[in-house]
Structure 1
């Protein structure tokens, strides 16, 4: 799967799993931060998104909080993480 396709899928997953109905995939910059500034998501959103990613792509997150923060930094970072997990 192409990176852009995966980024678009992840944007759609973000919108549906976090009920961000006022946004479309085109409204989310793949490089913008997901937490605090950027989309302004919080820790509950992170849990919901993590579960949605696990269901959709079968990826698992490590217990290392720093590593998880890096994966959840942006849509681009999530796409890289999902792509890497798929090749394992």
Structure 2
């Protein structure tokens, strides 16, 4: 997988202060919420702000499309790559 995936994994760890987790612990395909990494809606807001700050990506928190972008690291990679074209 791309270094962008690792960059996003590190951003998730840093932004959410996940102290006992390394980028190797986060599976690119795994769900970020619920049974996967176990993130919640507050985590989603913090991640959204971090994405806006780092990649200048604007997201609509109420949008179903935004929820799809936050399903996994892979979907976040696709979002960032699509926005940077």
Q: Pairwise mapping of residues 10-29 of structure 1 onto structure 2 (< 5 A)?
A: 10-29=8-27
Give me the TM-score of the superposition, normalised by structure 2.
0.95
Alpha-carbon distance between aligned partners in 2 of 1:86 and 1:41, rounded to the nearest angstrom = 26
Give me the TM-score of the superposition, normalised by structure 1.
0.92
Tell me the equivalent position of 1:7.
5
Corresponding residue pairs, total: 85
Give structure 2 stretches of 5+ with no counterpart.
none
Tell me the equivalent position of 2:35.
37
Q: CA-to-partner distance for each residue in 1:42-84, whole Å, 9 max, x for gaps?
A: 0000000000111111111135521011000000000000000
Alpha-carbon distance between aligned partners in 1 of 2:50 and 2:80, rounded to the nearest angstrom = 12
Runs of 4+ in 1 over 3 A off after TM superposition: none
